[in-house]
């Protein structure tokens, strides 16, 4: 009896201790730590709203975003109030260096180019936050790695994106873009014009390019992966919009189950593609000059040089994640850049005419080549200005794992840092009084002159972690735009509704309705 009582008492005491530890951790997570961080940030002169337990500013952020998305905006390039309503209002009230509550985590917003430069350069002091499990269902790979794993993956992937390899891929860019031109020509009426929503066409174009250049398959063969990734992106945003509800993203529901199923389906498809390619290589076939072929060749070289060790190079899971990243980044970035370029050139016909004149002067009716694309100055100016006003990625986030000195501030461990690309690109103090207007001339003497050498043009990030696919995206965009300008002039349709919105990247919420006209040369 006494032994049983002692055992019961022991279990009770143990349970009470575990409950107290759990309660303390929850209390620390939801209240004590946030309040301590708030006090430390205010001591640094940073301003922000008082902490609201659990939700912080998230409820207000999502409410303002929902309200903004419910309304159209005037045909203007001052898009910050619609895309970043809470952040803009917050910075106007609290100042440029301030903090926002993302649940119990304070996020310090930085817009000073010198401070941003420090954050971008010090990749080990200011690493990326651990990827949200929801986002990991959509994309992972190089973009989310840190430390030695990031260094290794970057080294292995680099050869796939050097200019010599991109030159080899240029005919694939042309083939995909030419298919688009043929589709559009087939849709023209007898008077040589056609009204359409170009957004899905440009998404399909970017998907076709990445399918062919990454895996040597056409868009039709890679269609399933593209459609699944597209659906996954929409589901991730849907879930994130409810992230202020405690524990909501962990509740089993139809959306969560569908997301996990999509993830498994994409994994299986990519695993099959990679395994077939690996077998071909082992059978003695030469490596193909697509991204996957170059990646596998580089990975094998890494393993041979470092010794056949299970911790060297990339394993199958790593390769699958990098392929998912190829699909996501390759499709999202370029389609966003192209759609906003066509919208802006529709609104500014003088710039459209100048770009077409340059393309015809360089290529005439001939197929665009690498050297010619490299000398398209006006087209480059236009693309840079589009990336400034409508950057595909709207912000970059970093985290602080230990107390860090940054400028005159000491940021405590546990805070996040937000570098709001969109706000920096629209900042009148950095870009002048016409910062919110389309003016490609500002890039006439290059990016360095346009920014006065400051870190204020960051559509692909900056520093050691600058987007590895930047040259790929720009070359694809130049090829697509050159061919479109050779064959068509275009203007906004009366059905066009100007509604830039964040769906992971910056996209036209209601599509991009354009009237195409066949160019008579």
Question: 3-state class of 105 per DSSP?
Answer: strand
Residue 255 has a pLDDT of 86
Q: CA 234, 237, 243 angle in degrees (round to 5)?
A: 150
The mean pLDDT of 264-281, rounded to a whole number, is 86
- Give the per-residue pLDDT at 223: 74
Confidence at residue 197, expressed as pLDDT on a 0 to 100 scale? 98
Strand 488-492 and strand 513-518: pairing? antiparallel
Residue 290: pLDDT band by 50, 70, 90 thresholds?
confident
- Computed over every residue of the chain, the mean pLDDT equals 90
Length of the chain: 521
Residue 63 has pLDDT above 60, yes or no: yes
Contact by Cβ (8 Å): 409, 34: no
Summarised one tens digit per residue, pLDDT across range 4-24 is 666 676 777 878 888 888 999
* pTM of the shown model: 0.93
From 126-135, 290-299, 405-414, the region with the lowest mean pLDDT: 126-135
Q: How many CB atoms lie within 10 A of CB 150?
A: 19
3-state secondary structure 118-183: HHHHCCCCCCCCCCCHHHHCCCCHHHHCCHHHHHHHHHHHHHHHCHHHHHHHHHHHHHHHHHHHHH
Per-residue pLDDT band at 107 (split at 50, 70, 90): very high
Give the model's pLDDT for residue 284: 76
Q: Which of 250-254, 270-274, 463-467, 510-514 is predicted most confidently?
A: 510-514
Q: Are 274 and 214 in contact (CB under 8 A)?
A: no
| pLDDT > 80? residue 317 | yes
What's the pLDDT band for 171 if we cut at 50, 70, 90?
very high
pLDDT band at 78 (very low <50, low <70, confident <90, very high): very high
pLDDT for 215 equals 81
| Cβ-proximal residues to 133 (8 Å cutoff; 6+ apart), any chain | 249
pLDDT of residue 455: 97
CA distance 212 to 492: 31
Phi, psi values for residue 284, rounded to 5°: 100, 5
Higher pLDDT, 409 or 140: 409
- The rounded distance, in Å, linking the Cα atoms of 4 and 303 is 59
CB atoms within 10 A of CB 224: 12
If one compares 431 and 302, the residue with the highest pLDDT of the two is 431
The pLDDT of residue 309 is 63
In order of 131, 223, 332, 520, the CA distances from 472 in angstroms are: 25, 21, 13, 31
Whether the per-residue pLDDT at 475 is higher than 60: the answer is: yes
pLDDT at residue 308 in the model: 58
* Helix 316-347 with 377-389: angle, nearest 10 deg: 100
CB 274 within 8 A of CB 320: yes
Residue 242 has pLDDT above 70, yes or no: no
Instruction: Quote the pLDDT of residue 220.
Output: 63
Taking alpha carbons only, the member of 450, 475, 471, 507 closest to residue 379 is 475
**Is 379's pLDDT higher than 80?**
yes
């Amino acid at each position: 009896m006494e032994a049983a009582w002692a055992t019961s008492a022991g279990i009770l005491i143990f349970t009470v201790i575990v409950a107290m530890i759990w309660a303390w951790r929850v209390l620390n997570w939801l209240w004590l730590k946030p309040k301590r961080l708030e006090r430390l940030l205010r001591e640094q002169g940073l301003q922000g709203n008082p902490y609201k337990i659990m939700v912080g500013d998230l409820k207000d952020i999502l409410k303002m975003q929902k309200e903004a998305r419910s309304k159209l905006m005037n045909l203007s390039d001052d898009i910050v109030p619609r895309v970043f309503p809470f952040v803009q209002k917050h910075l106007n009230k609290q100042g440029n260096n301030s903090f926002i509550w993302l649940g119990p985590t304070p996020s310090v917003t930085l817009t000073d180019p010198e401070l941003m430069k420090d954050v971008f350069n010090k990749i080990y002091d200011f690493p990326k936050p651990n990827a949200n499990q929801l986002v990991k269902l959509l994309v992972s790979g190089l973009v989310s790695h840190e430390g030695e794993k990031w260094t290794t993956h970057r080294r292995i992937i680099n050869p796939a994106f050097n200019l010599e390899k991109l030159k080899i891929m240029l005919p694939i860019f042309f083939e995909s873009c030419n298919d688009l031109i043929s589709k559009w020509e087939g849709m023209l009426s007898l008077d040589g014009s056609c009204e359409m929503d170009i957004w899905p066409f440009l998404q399909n174009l970017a998907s076709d390019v990445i399918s062919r250049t990454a895996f040597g398959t056409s868009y039709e063969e890679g269609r399933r992966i593209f459609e699944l990734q597209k659906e996954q992106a929409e589901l991730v945003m849907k879930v994130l919009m409810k992230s202020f509800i405690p524990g909501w993203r962990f509740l089993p529901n139809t959306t969560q189950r569908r997301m996990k199923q999509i993830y498994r389906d994409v994994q299986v498809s990519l695993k099959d593609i990679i395994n077939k390619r690996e077998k071909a290589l082992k059978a003695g076939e030469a490596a193909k000059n697509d991204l996957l072929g170059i990646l596998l060749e580089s990975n094998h070289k890494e393993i041979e040089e470092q010794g056949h060790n299970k911790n060297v190079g990339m394993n199958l899971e790593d390769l699958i994640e990098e392929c998912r990243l190829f699909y996501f980044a390759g499709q999202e970035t370029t389609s966003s850049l192209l759609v906003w370029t066509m919208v802006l050139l529709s609104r500014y016909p003088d710039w459209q005419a100048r770009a077409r004149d340059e393309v015809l002067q360089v290529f005439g009716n001939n197929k665009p080549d690498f050297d010619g694309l490299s000398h398209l100055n006006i087209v480059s100016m236009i693309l840079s200005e589009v990336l400034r006003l409508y950057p595909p990625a709207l912000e970059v986030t970093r985290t602080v794992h230990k107390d860090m000195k940054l400028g005159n501030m000491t940021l405590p461990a546990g805070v996040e840092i937000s570098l709001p690309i969109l706000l920096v690109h629209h900042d009148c103090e950095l870009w002048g009084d016409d910062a919110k207007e389309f003016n490609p001339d500002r890039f006439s003497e290059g990016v360095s002159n346009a920014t006065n050498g400051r870190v204020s043009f960051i559509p692909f990030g900056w520093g050691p972690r600058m987007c590895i696919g930047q040259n790929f995206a720009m070359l694809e965009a130049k090829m697509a735009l050159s061919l479109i300008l050779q064959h068509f002039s275009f203007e906004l349709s009366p059905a066009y509704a100007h509604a830039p919105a964040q769906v992971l990247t910056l996209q036209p919420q209601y599509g991009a309705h354009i009237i195409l006209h066949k160019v008579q040369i």
